[in-house]
Amino acid sequence: MAHLFVFGLGYTAKRIASAMEERGWQTAATGSAGDVDFADEEAVHEALGKTSHILSSVPPDRASGNDPVMDAYGESLAERALFYLSSTGVYGDAGGAWVDETTPTVAETGTGRRNARAEADAAWLAMGARVFRLPGIYGPGRSALDRVRDGRARRIDLPGQVFSRVHVDDIVSGVVAALVQDAAAGAYNLGDDLPASGNAVTEHACQLLGVEPPPLESLEEAQLSQMARGFYAENRRVANGKAKRVLGWRPAYPTYFEGLSALL
């Protein structure tokens, strides 16, 4: 029986593990919702000894920039099918242009900071992993609808700014497809079919909820955190054709219109 071990059972990985359990797979995981303590090396190695497939959703450490999984257990990952949840942030700022899996990753982000995501992405690829590059993730409890309801929605005045996004269920279907097919190693972008500005998504969420959209603000007026400012410093459209061709993947929510309507 196939066995999946998950490093970091968070918002997205928890749904992937559940989907595989429904298919008869055994799963174990670290993380707040997992059953194995990441720091307990004996327990982790015991679990890995039973594992055929490994999925990591653990991002690089914010302080050091290093990948905690690679640092602690990199030597134990060999000879297993590896899967890693990465970020489209590896592409940096593309000035609104389309990027795909052949687009070079960048060593620094648009704000000139070390792009630890790109380093981790490259390390997993070097070990033969299937790496899923994910744009902004939304889903139940984590969408523009929730931000509008909670009064956290913002509209930033940045003409031409475009992002890609993906519903969490579409990430699950893409990763599950790769797991059950034993897909070829390499990078896969999982994003929807309609890159759009954050403002457009916020405005549509407001329309669905029957409320007025928040006022437009400049970056200076918004007083965003450094992390949020870094997000707005990058502008790109993420192509998803490879996942469709290779995995037979089709997003159930091809645009934010379908995604937000379903969440509503």
Overall pTM surpassing 0.75 (yes/no): yes
Of 3-12, 168-177, 220-229, the poorest mean pLDDT is in 220-229
CATH code for 80-263?
A: 3.40.50.720
pLDDT (0 to 100) of residue 173:
98
d(CA 19, CA 13): 10
Mean predicted confidence (pLDDT) in 177-187: 97
pLDDT in tens, 122-140: 999 999 999 999 999 999 9
pLDDT value of position 153? 94
Q: How much of the chain exceeds pLDDT 90, in percent?
A: 89
Secondary structure (3-state) at 146 = helix
Confidence of residue 226 (pLDDT cuts 50, 70, 90): confident
Q: What is the mean pLDDT of residues 68-82?
A: 95
CB-facing half-sphere around the CA of 136: CA atoms within 13 A? 24
List CB contacts of 5: < 8 A, sequence separation 6 or more. 27, 28, 29, 47, 48, 50, 51, 53, 54, 55
Burial 201-214 (b: 16+ CB within 10 A, else e): bbbbbbebeeeebb
